Amino acid sequence: MSSIEKNIAGKKVTAKKGLKIGIVRSGYNADIVQALYDSCIKTLLNSGVAEKNIITASVPGAFEIPFACQKMALNKAFHAIITLGAIIQGDTPHFDYIASSCAQGIIDVSLKTNVPIIFGVLTTNNLAQAKARIDKGTEAALTAIEMTNLNV
């Protein structure tokens, strides 16, 4: 277990009984997203989330992630939603449009529905940077649990 997995912000993260987590994952850059997904699932299970309480939706690319999050959030079946994707810089401004739209869409849905939606979408300059950030799946899982434990 990594130090990230042991705690977040200096605290051990444990899921409340019955916690239901939605995951929206992009099909684009599939190898990177699969590694993010594997680390996310492992962390959720190790933190006490029951496998039956983790539901995954797959979408073609990062641009479609906010729509799937909205569908999940509106059905009110999830305590938190985790997004997983990888947007890697290319030679055109396409990267900027997709990354910005994805991030803005996710926060808009979260604030509109009052469901914590965790940004586990990598936005990197190249494939090597994306591979170096595979632990983001673990971080996203821990953040989701932490946000469902938020006492305000």
Q: State the catalytic residues.
A: 94
Cβ neighbours of 28 (radius 10 Å): 18
Q: Which of 33, 81, 36, 26 is nearest to 58 (CA)?
A: 26
The answer to whether the beta carbons of residues 26 and 62 sit under 8 Å apart is yes
Cα–Cα separations (whole angstroms), residue 79 to 1, 42, 56, 82, 103? 25, 18, 14, 10, 20
* Residue whose entry in the numeric block shows the structure tokens 């933190």: 47
